[in-house]
Amino acid sequence: MDAPVPIILNPAARSTKAAARMDQVRGLSPSPEIHLTKGVGDASRIAEELARQGRRLVVAAGGDGTVNEVLQGICKVNAGRSDPADHTVLGVLPMGTMNVFSLELGMKAADLAGCWAAITSGRRREVDLWCANEHYFVQLAGVGLDAEVIQLTPWEMKKRLGPLSYVISAVKAWFQKAPVLTVHIEDRPPMPGSVVLVGSGVHYGGPFPLFRTARNDDSLLDVLIFQQLGYWEIAQLLRAVLIDGYEKSLDLDYFQVRALRVECAGRPVPFQLDGELCGVSPVDFRPAGFPLRVAV
């Protein structure tokens, strides 16, 4: 008889809604093996332990933050295994405030049973895996304003207001002095910017298709550089996303690259990966050197 599939569950995700859905998780068929986290770093530690035990599939139940923590744990083990067929597979059960990676995979938060059926079906898919300095990420990254928005959004605020909390923090960050970033891409001159957004998939910050032509299996990162961040740049962004795509402009630069480096003169600037703060500039984005296998 196969061992139960381990689920690492963040009971704080979606606050009381997650607690109310605990019975749903326990009632999934086949029955999962539930591991509850108690604090920051627990999901990564538990995932690493499970991967080292040889568990072939580990499921992150929560939002993008929980997924990113579980990703760190299993990839720490996978990095030491030469054959991708021996790697621990990541499953995603969307139960968080933000579920961007699950959206990219076609997993709908409103249908946990359907997600579980897909996860336990045995189907596997390889997606691109990336590093930013020493951290792994799989969906999105940002340097500058969007990371500062996350920095300004405490957990209690997310618990109370959900996605609206990020909107409120964005308004606060908007009125702060923008950093002066420098982006280095091979075979190009250094480029200035105030915000750098990086995507391995189409979606960024929710159901917003920021990178319209991105694919998470093409070995390329899609990079959007705002030279400034004002009303005109936002208008250009909305036009590009909703109407006719990105074109050469004096205000927005859009590239597909395999690697880049972002620096900031004068002060360190935070960067985020998959919606979680992970450090400060300078930051090097590069391929991880092996793919991530996901259950779909």
Same domain, 168 and 273: yes
Same domain, 73 and 28: yes
Residue 115, pLDDT above cutoff 60: yes
C-alpha dihedral, 120 to 103 to 254 to 170, nearest 10°: -130
User: Which tens digit of pLDDT belongs to each residue from 169-212?
Assistant: 454 455 566 678 999 999 999 999 888 999 999 998 778 888 88
Peptide bond into 30 cis (omega under 30): yes
The number of folded domains in the chain is 2
In a domain, 1, yes or no: no
Distance CA 74, CA 187 (A): 34
Same domain, 101 and 27: yes
Domain-ending residue, one of 87, 122, 157 = 122
Report CA torsion sign: 97, 101, 106, 107: negative
Residue 292, pLDDT above cutoff 90: yes
In a domain, 130, yes or no: no
In a domain, 69, yes or no: yes
In a domain, 173, yes or no: yes
The distance from CA 17 to its chain's CA centroid, rounded to whole angstroms, is 22
Same domain, 158 and 281: yes
C-alpha dihedral, 111 to 116 to 119 to 121, nearest 10°: -110
Same domain, 146 and 45: no
Same domain, 146 and 267: yes
Confidence bin at 156 (pLDDT 50/70/90): low
In a domain, 171, yes or no: yes
The CATH number of the domain holding residue 174 is 2.60.200.40
Q: What backbone phi and psi angles, to 5 degrees, belong to 107?
A: -90, 120
Residue 231, pLDDT above cutoff 50: no
In a domain, 131, yes or no: no
User: Which tens digit of pLDDT belongs to each residue from 27-69?
Assistant: 999 999 999 998 889 999 999 999 999 999 999 999 898 999 9
pLDDT of residue 179: 78
Strands 283-287 and 191-193: unpaired
Residue 123, pLDDT above cutoff 80: yes
In a domain, 294, yes or no: no
pLDDT of residue 243: 52
| Nearest alpha carbon to residue 159 among 65, 278, 233, 273 | 65
Residue 154, pLDDT above cutoff 60: no
In a domain, 127, yes or no: no
Same domain, 158 and 232: yes
Same domain, 28 and 115: yes
Domain boundaries, position 205: 140-289
List the beta bridge partners of residue 58. 90
Same domain, 270 and 227: yes
Same domain, 108 and 164: no
Domain-ending residue, one of 74, 93, 122 = 122
Distance CA 46, CA 77 (A): 12
Domain-ending residue, one of 60, 89, 122 = 122
Percentage of the chain modeled with pLDDT above 90: 59
228 or 165, greater pLDDT:
228
User: Which tens digit of pLDDT belongs to each residue from 258-274?
Assistant: 999 999 987 889 999 99
